[in-house]
């Protein structure tokens, strides 16, 4: 059986590039060390790093399309405004899966700034387009 080819679209916010560039790198490491290996038995994953501009999202999705990727897996590595990805996501004919990859299952007494940084991407999923809005 051939594994599906998945283009992982990891979204982040340009604000962090200016004020905390290490955050994107830590989220990319999380994807490479935890997400890709978890999916490897069932899919061939292509991940081109965290994306924080509309131009780069467009470039990566067009590359995935031309390379014959079967499906887009959208994960918010941090909060990401939908305007950087929505226009291109609406145009693509690839199936889209939006996956919540926050690490915490609950907030407890150990919750702090680091946990917030690593788990706040879920807030951006509500503004991503659905196919019914196209």
pLDDT tens per residue, range 69-78 = 999 999 988 8
Q: What is the distance between the alpha carbons of residues 41 and 100, in angstroms, rounded to a whole number?
A: 20
Q: In this model, does residue 132 exceed pLDDT 70? A: no
Instruction: Fold for 5-133, please state it.
Output: Rossmann fold (3.40.50)
* 64 pLDDT more than 70: yes
| pLDDT surpasses 50 at 133 | no
Q: State the Cα–Cα distance between residues 2 and 10, nearest whole angstrom.
A: 24
Exposed e or buried b for every residue in 69-78, given b needs 16+ CB within 10 A? beebbbbbbb
Residues 80-110: tens digit of each pLDDT: 888 889 899 999 999 999 887 666 565 667 7
- State yes or no: pLDDT of 33 exceeds 80: yes
pLDDT attached to residue 82: 82
Contact 33, 99 (CB under 8 A): no
The domain locations on the chain are 5-133
Q: Token pair 């915490």 is at which residue?
A: 104
């Amino acid at each position: 059986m051939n594994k599906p080819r998945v283009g992982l679209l990891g979204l982040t916010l340009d604000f962090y590039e200016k004020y905390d560039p290490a955050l994107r790198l830590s989220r990319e490491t999380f994807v490479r060390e935890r997400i890709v290996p978890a999916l490897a038995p069932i899919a061939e994953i292509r991940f081109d790093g965290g994306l924080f501009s509309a131009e780069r999202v467009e470039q990566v999705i067009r590359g995935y399309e031309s390379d014959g990727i079967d499906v887009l897996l959208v994960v918010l590595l941090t909060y990401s405004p939908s305007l950087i990805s929505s226009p291109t996501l609406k145009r693509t004919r690839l199936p889209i899966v939006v996956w919540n990859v926050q690490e915490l299952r609950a907030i407890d007494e150990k919750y702090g700034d680091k946990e917030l940084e690593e788990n706040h991407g879920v807030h951006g999923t509500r503004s991503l387009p659905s196919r019914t809005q196209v």
